[in-house]
Amino acid sequence: MLSEEDRRLLHILEQDCRLTPEELSIQTGLTPDYINKKIKQWEKDKVIVKYSLLVNHEKLEEDRVTALIDLKVLPQRGEGYDKIAQRFQKFPEIKSVFLMSGNYDLCLLIEGKNMYEIAQFVSDKLSPLDVIEATSTRFVLRRYKQDGIEFYGEEERPKRLVISP
């Protein structure tokens, strides 16, 4: 169980993992030494699993497509959905695997250079798997917010997509 101070420390780190132990100490009242030890312990225990960078690829005008693929699967006897999810974790194209409630069992988050690349992945690598009963693919058209970060402020609205016949 986390203490209130540790919970606050973890929350601040989630907002900005670049802060130094000294800066964190000012915000939490904890000593830099305690913070260093706590972070190392959380890394060892896999409470902190990764430090990452969030890039707005739209600003770079890079070709990148994100898709959510819902899967209805046949759970493995004695294994449930875990063994299937572990199998999907091995594909580098799959960024996230979620067990879901509702009409579909698993949801995969996939990134590719274009829709064709994602379609190829679904047809060549996912569809042939005998555990899959059905798929539903949805493409992300624009990210407005991710991981608590807003991509566009009031003064900076994204350009509207031009649609013409």
Q: What is the CATH number of the domain that holds 30?
A: 1.10.10
Q: What percent of the chain has pLDDT over 70?
A: 94
Q: How does the average pLDDT of the chain come out, rounded?
A: 87
> Tens digit of pLDDT for each residue in 111-149?
998 999 999 999 999 888 889 999 999 999 888 888 777
Alpha carbon of 62 to those of 33, 55, 58, 66, 94: distances in Å? Answer: 42, 11, 6, 12, 19
Same domain assignment for residues 96 and 131: yes
Retrieve residue 11's tokens.
């929350």
Is-contact 56 46, C-beta < 8 A?
Answer: no
Do 77 and 129 fall within a single domain? Answer: yes
Q: Band the pLDDT of 154: cuts 50, 70, 90.
A: low
Residue 84 has pLDDT above 70, yes or no: yes
* Residue 26 within any structural domain of the chain: yes
Does a structural domain hold residue 110? yes
Stretch 78-100: mean pLDDT, rounded? 92
SS3 140: coil
Which of the residue ranges 6-20, 72-86, 144-158 would you say has the lowest mean pLDDT? 144-158
Please report, for the domain that includes residue 102, its CATH number: 3.30.70.920
**Residue 31 included in any domain:** yes
Q: DSSP letter for 123, please.
A: I
Tell me the residue range of the domain where 38 lies. Answer: 4-44
> Between vectors from CA 42 to CA 38 and to CA 47, what angle results, nearest 5°?
145
Same domain, 70 and 132: yes
